[in-house]
A and B are shown apart, each in its own frame.
Chain A
């Protein structure tokens, strides 16, 4: 997903600096791109984590929530001529509803099946979302205008697109909102409680099914937001979800499944790894390098990079 973006950035930087890019600036440039892309991965991974915590399911349709967010926003903006911010808002709410419908009419029905069955259902949902998007919008890629113009500005010689700041801002917003939600609200605490001990949650009178519904709503919401804010840079396309889902899953695993702080750090690490290897080694192997790193972590620290020693001893992976 990041390739056109990197090319674009490199093009601008070369253009602005007259083709002579000093290695320091170049590194800074890669770092900035890495952080931007990593933020998106982090958002997808947070979506994975929320559903994982409440159900133990890896939702393979998570990337498709992102795709849908972008597609629907484009539809509102381009076809219905709704103002940009309103389009985004509509898209995010619709994706959230889709997430809830998915939980009610699919996950809820078979929730007592094995985890593998549940995962296959999320794969079926992913195919369904993709098929629906292709049916409605065809195979073209669409773009949204950047939220505040395309004029890049410079930071120590590296270029930053204004949209980058929007992405970082939204990541910050999402993380702070979630932190407040889980730490200070009763519903957030109840959701956390469900992930720790479902039986106890039932005993104290928490409606566990509603918490699961809420978790799907929340991750679809976050997916939708990611989709809207990233479309101005990477375009929206019906098949974009799979790769993003894969990256997001990798990020969630690297950060430790269910761990939000871990997801952010892991997202940025994977983003940086990709951009450095694309820029310094080979763009074809950038994903392979990120994946090999991920595998090494899995083999040697299966709980993710941030797992505590004691925790690792207790859990089985």
Chain B
């Protein structure tokens, strides 16, 4: 579904990703593990077209998407729930969701939009209760739910999640992740999950990659990674 080949990304003159290659198959949950500043978010931002200076190839469903603008990439079927949520804080929950449908919205398919919103409120009932509230006034967990929901509104086939668990209470994290697994089972959505919380990430994924200073140093199936000494030592704190 998604294939990244020797991707390099630059911030000004700093090379943040050094020839990263990975692939994600349809219906998988793949995770990317790494420490702060290892290039995790840069990778996601590069895929969605937010970083102008990249080299290498990114194939999405057989089509080269590197260098395309983000609105084209979103239209092709990739959505990102970014780090730090990046909501439109002074706008209502409903408006945030509607903006997620920007690329296919038209007056004619309003019904579809309403169904979609209903569906979101079934997934995250908490949001339904707050639909008129301004996004900036929501709690951290609700904001994260809204960020994921907004991404889902654009009908992605590949969902990129950037550290959804940051700053949230364990119970809320569990709630969100349960919803995500359910969603994946029901809709066969492909998810690429970037996490610092390695336990959590390895728990939900099928495969994973480990990134360090802009390079993929390790990849494998869930069990392989869970039993890998390096992973155990560096990310799970077990000797």
Q: Would A and B touch once assembled, by the CB under 8 A criterion?
A: yes
- Give 14 CB contacts A-B under 8 Å: A186-B105, A189-B99, A193-B88, A193-B99, A196-B88, A197-B86, A197-B87, A197-B88, A200-B87, A200-B88, A202-B71, A203-B50, A204-B154, A207-B69
B116 within 8 A of A: no
> A78 → chain B, closest Cβ, in Å?
41
Contact pick for B74, options A189, A192, A197, A204, CB 8 Å? A204
User: Which B residues are CB-close (under 8 A) to A196?
Assistant: 88-91
Interface membership of B29, Cβ < 8 A:
no
- Chain B binding surface SS class: loop
Binding site for A on B (CB under 8 A): 48-50, 69-71, 73-75, 80, 82, 86-91, 95, 98-103, 105, 150-151, 154
Chain A residues whose C-beta falls within 8 Å of the C-beta of B74 in the assembled complex: 203-205
Contact B91 A193, beta carbon cutoff 8 Å: yes
Contact A206 B50 (CB under 8 A): no
Extra pairs beyond A199-B86, A200-B88 (12, CB < 8 Å): A186-B101, A189-B95, A190-B102, A197-B87, A199-B50, A199-B82, A200-B86, A202-B49, A203-B50, A204-B151, A206-B99, A207-B71
Question: What is the CB-to-nearest-CB distance from A54 to chain B, in angstroms, rounded to a whole number?
Answer: 14
Which of A186, A192, A197, A199 contacts B102, CB < 8 Å?
A: A186
Residue among B50, B102, B105 with most chain A CB within 10 A: B102
Enumerate chain B residues within 8 angstroms of A193, measured Cβ to Cβ: 88, 91, 99
Taking CB as reference atom, which chain A residue is nearest B136?
A196
Cross-chain contact B102 with A204 (CB below 8 angstroms):
yes
* Cα separation A192 to B154 with both chains bound (whole Å): 19
Residue of B nearest to A194 (CB): B88
- List A contacts of B48 (CB < 8 A): 203
Q: How far is the CA of A157 from the CA of B44 in the complex (A)?
A: 69
A202 touching B103 in the complex, CB below 8 Å, given contacts A189-B91, A189-B95, A189-B98: no
